[in-house]
A and B are shown apart, each in its own frame.
Chain A
């Protein structure tokens, strides 16, 4: 299409300065890319923390090669990981992966870049707000990262930061303590998410192109819409809780501290009167909806990739839409399934068990619709499709293992064991991370004008698939045996899990192998920028509006604001001719039906 008009376009206006164009840009695409690169770096960083932890678990008490010395005596006395450092790595791995890695990548990057394109808008509804949301996120990330370098290191009470542990660990009343910085960092990240989600909702509600009715909206946008509502409404309670914990740490209040505590043999001096469980309620009120924030955008990406690579509409589009809305709604009433063992009575536990079983229903509907979308398709096994396909059974395993956790009775044995770690990593790692990879391979050509290498992509895929399972499958066995999570020595001290300790080596090898295969991705990612095969505006012969822009899309996106003439996935319409199996949303009927036409 109009690649030349776009050049012509820019020459007319004075070029904005480099800083305005690439650093403090208000263009949703530049912001999306900023979010994308930053979050990929954090994702990689969070993964590196984890690879170090897995060394300690595989070889407890043995010096970490290379890095051991380099990380300093405080963290690595004699090159061996100190328990406090292990706990820091664990807490920060969780925090970074969730809040600095996946959410900013799934919502900040994919949402920002694609939502305006898919709804046919020139930008987000509030471009300046959009820019500030990225920078607030960036500051939050810097605060979190810097917390590794303050006295006594980063937060070490788990990503859940349960009180009173989080309040009495490194309690100096200074801002420069890991836990305090964690709280401050969270306040920034929450603020950033709030700004971002308002923007995405308003963009979808208000800026849809003419003809783009609700039921013609790509499923990806629906997923982003529901996700944004979750962020908008679930995050503020954690912000409130964060402020209260800050008060406890800095102003000596007792929101989460009951009276009569004895810390390290000394009576704790505080007014008391607080409640330790209050923190958990506020935390999980966010953190449960948060897990659907991690999965819904992933489902959105997978849906787009599947429709495109099966060359047929998604099966049960309206069921998908309804199920995700219901999923979003229900996610607000299941939070206490993380708290069954805090002394819960029958009525409350019955309530939360029931809602938890209920919430599995929309998930099953979504997954069923995605799987059955394959039926009758003409499946192309491109790299994005491989990742999207693998998502289905991997999420299936993660989701199914949520069921025994959701029943309070079986949770007695499984709570806080590696079974839980296995459960949620199957949903977030070979689940969400795979979906995000699928999305990167799929939209890379639109963003850069070049395709990523299929060969490297397939190496990346198969290596990741094998090693992901090497890492997470044994965790179910370990968990069943009763091996607890967050164990610095990987369970060495306990008899009941001795026979499953051997898996720790295997998991270690899996994790490092997984790391190795990510190199294929990193190389591919940068190599393809310069050397990838050049593509036209619609290389996948896709139907949604983002493929109607010049490539890469210029500031303002569309040469002309498109009209949407039909639903999002009109592939292989019966009776249409054999040369062209797709009917883009933007082509009026007489063009769409007019036989072979390649977009160029």
Chain B
């Protein structure tokens, strides 16, 4: 709208805080995400300690596929960093390459997840079967939604959003950094989810 609105520190860091706005914003957002997943992990612990039996993840879940997925996500985190580094080195083409890879990894993750889910549905292993299955679907489902959200953002930054590079390169680079922070967080959540759900023994 009115071109006169000038939000300071949209792009450069505020000297006394050392942050630009979006970066502080995303850190705050991630803090709330920590509380969200923290609550779910705490619920897991509480339900597990209170339960008389608990399934062993590796027996009913496909831990091999999940292992592959772990590497896919870690890989995507690496390419995400590289895409940001590419912008820092003023190389848009490289950025597009790495960002494209990141998005591809996201798709791969979701496809694999989809295969896993389909198998569970087929065997009637639904949330109503046990608390373990319930928490499995809830946590991976919520995590999956986060992946989808991240991919929409990354896809936008790769496609139409990248036009900003021509006009405001610094701001665009910031955006990639911020999207990257979020993406690493999503990755990190998975790194906690994987052993918790797939590897921990039952009781």
Q: Is the CB of B127 within 8 A of A273?
A: no
A contact residues around B52 at 8 Å (CB): 273
- Taken together as a complex, chains A and B put the C-alpha atoms of A207 and B10 apart, in Å, by 10
Known: A125-B25, A243-B138. A282 touches B43 (CB 8 A): yes
Bits for B2-22, please: 1 = Cβ < 8 Å to A, else 0.
111111110000100101111
Inter-chain contact B134/A205, CB cutoff 8 Å: no
Q: Are B126 and A125 in contact (CB under 8 A)?
A: no
Known contacts A198-B28, A235-B32, A270-B128; is-contact A206 B9 (Cβ 8 Å)? yes
Q: Which of the segments B33-41, B86-94, B169-177, B179-187 contacts the partner chain?
A: B33-41
Can you list 5 residue pairs at the A/B interface with Cβ under 8 Å?
A: A126-B25, A127-B7, A202-B25, A271-B130, A273-B131
Whole-angstrom distance from the CB of B161 to the nearest CB of chain A?
A: 14
**In the complex, are the beta carbons of A555 and B2 less than 8 A apart?**
yes
Given contact pairs A237-B35, A240-B36, A247-B138, A202 touches B21 in the complex (Cβ within 8 A):
yes
A253 x B128 contact (CB < 8 A): yes
Contact among A13, A194, A236, A237 with B2 in the assembled complex (CB-CB below 8 Å): A13
Chain A interface, >50% SS class: helix
Decide: A555 and B5 in contact? CB cutoff 8 A.
Answer: yes
Asked if B128 contacts A254 (CB within 8 A), the reply is yes
Q: Check: A372 CB closer than 8 A to any chain B CB.
A: no
Q: Are B9 and A207 in contact (CB under 8 A)?
A: yes
Contact indicator B21/A206 (Cβ below 8 Å): yes
A278 interface residue per 8 A CB criterion: yes
Q: Which residues of B contact A243 (CB under 8 A)?
A: 138, 142
Q: Give B110-149 as 1s and 0s: 1 = Cβ < 8 Å from A's Cβ atoms.
A: 0000000000000000111111011101100010000000
User: Are B126 and A251 closer than 8 Å at their CB atoms?
Assistant: yes
| A199 proximity list for chain B (CB < 8 A) | 25
A-B pairs with lowest CB-CB distance, top 9:
A252-B128, A253-B134, A237-B39, A236-B36, A253-B127, A236-B35, A240-B39, A273-B131, A251-B127
Contact (Cβ within 8 A) B134 A247: yes
Interface contact B28-A232, CB-CB below 8 Å = yes
**Residues of A263-299 whose CB lies within 8 A of B:** 270-271, 273-275, 278, 281-282, 285
| Complex interface: chain A residues within 8 A of B142 (CB) | 243
Distance (whole angstroms) from the CB of A228 to the closest CB of chain B? 9
Q: Is the CB of B1 within 8 A of A125?
A: no
Q: Which of B17, B25, B46 contacts A198 (CB 8 A)?
A: B25
Q: How far is the CA of A282 from the CA of B47 in the complex (A)?
A: 13
Which A residues form the contact surface with B (CB < 8 A)? 9, 13, 16, 20, 26-27, 121-123, 125-127, 194, 197-199, 201-202, 205-207, 232-237, 239-241, 243-244, 247, 251-255, 270-271, 273-275, 278, 281-282, 285, 555-556
Query: Is the CB–CB distance between A241 and B7 below 8 Å?
Result: no
Q: CA of A10 to CA of B93 in the docked complex: distance in angstroms?
A: 42
User: Would you call B131 and A255 a contact (CB within 8 A)?
Assistant: yes
Whether A252 contacts B47 by the Cβ 8 Å rule is: no
Residues of B within 8 A of A239 (CB): 36
The reply to whether the CB of B29 lies closer than 8 angstroms to some CB of chain A is yes
* Complex alpha-carbon distance, A237 and B40, angstroms: 8
Closest CB in chain B relative to A333 CB, distance in Å: 14
Complex contact A123–B7 (CB within 8 A):
yes
Q: Are B47 and A278 in contact (CB under 8 A)?
A: yes
Q: A207 with B8: in contact, given A198-B25, A236-B39 (CB under 8 Å)? A: yes
A-chain residues with CB within 8 Å of residue B20 when the two chains form the complex: 206
Q: Is B166 an interface residue (CB 8 A)?
A: no
Q: Known: A198-B29, A252-B127. Contact between A16 and B1, CB under 8 A?
A: yes
Task: Tell me the number of A-to-B contacts counted with CB atoms below 8 Å.
Answer: 147
B43-85: contact bitstring with A at CB < 8 Å (1 yes, 0 no)? 1001100111000000000000000000000000000000000
Q: A247-B137, A254-B128, A556-B5 are in contact. Are A236 and B32 (CB under 8 A)?
A: yes
B20 to chain A, nearest CB (A): 8
The CA-CA distance from A199 to B19 in the complex, in Å, is 15
B36 touches A237 (CB 8 A): yes
Inter-subunit contact B21/A125 (CB<8 Å)? yes
Tell yes or no: B24 within 8 A of A by CB.
Answer: yes
In Å, the complex CA distance between A209 and B119 comes to 57
Q: Is the CB of B32 within 8 A of A240?
A: no
Question: How far apart sit A202 and B51, CA to CA, in the bound complex (Å)?
Answer: 42
Note all chain B residues with C-beta closer than 8 A to A235: 32, 35
A16 to B36, CA, bound (A): 39
Select from chain B the residue with minimum beta-carbon distance to A274: B131
Q: A237 to chain B: which residues have CB within 8 Å? A: 35-36, 38-39
- The winner among B17, B24, B31, B127 for most chain A CB atoms within 10 A is B127
Query: What residues of chain B lie closer than 8 Å to A198, measured between beta carbons?
Result: 25, 28-29, 32
In the complex, residue of chain A having the shortest beta-carbon distance to the beta carbon of B46: A278
Separation of A243 and B33 alpha carbons in the complex (Å) = 14
* CA A489 to CA B178, docked complex, whole Å: 56
Contact A207 B7 (CB under 8 A): yes
A241 neighbours in B (Cβ, 8 Å): 39, 43
- Flag if A205 contacts B47 (CB, 8 Å): no
In the docked arrangement, what's the CA distance between A244 and B36, Å? 12
Assess the A282–B39 pair: CB atoms within 8 A: yes
New A-B pairs, 14, CB < 8 Å, besides A207-B8, A234-B35, A282-B43? A197-B28, A206-B14, A233-B32, A236-B36, A240-B37, A243-B138, A251-B128, A273-B130, A273-B131, A274-B47, A274-B134, A278-B43, A555-B1, A555-B2
**Closest Cβ–Cβ distance, residue A423 to chain B (whole Å):** 27
CB B46 to nearest CB in A, in angstroms, measures 6
B29 touches A194 (CB 8 A): yes
Q: Quick check: B5 and A122 within 8 Å, CB to CB?
A: yes
Determine the residue in chain B with the shortest Cβ distance to A123. B5
- Smallest CB–CB gap between A270 and chain B, Å? 7
Residues of B near A270 (CB, < 8 A) are 128
Residues from chain A with Cβ under 8 Å of B47 in the complex: 255, 273-275, 278
Residue in chain B with minimal CB distance to A207: B8
Report the bound CA distance from A244 to B137 in whole Å: 10
* Min C-beta distance of B3 to chain A, whole Å: 7
Closest to A231 in B: B32
Contact A275 B32 (CB under 8 A): no
Taking a contact as CB atoms under 8 Å apart, the answer to whether B131 and A251 are in contact is no
Min distance, Cβ A111 to any Cβ of chain B, angstroms: 15
Residues of B within 8 A of A121 (CB): 7-8
The closest CB in chain B to the CB of A273 belongs to: B131
A254 to B35, CA, bound (A): 22
User: Are B1 and A233 in contact, CB atoms less than 8 angstroms apart?
Assistant: no
Residues of B within 8 A of A240 (CB): 36-37, 39-40, 43
Please tell me if the beta carbons of A255 and B32 are within 8 angstroms of each other in the complex: no
- Inside 8 A of A20's CB, which chain B residues have their CB? 1
User: For residue B9, which residues in chain A have a CB less than 8 angstroms away from its CB?
Assistant: 206-207
- Complex CA–CA separation, A466 to B127 (angstroms): 54
State the CA gap A240–B7 with chains docked (Å).
Answer: 34
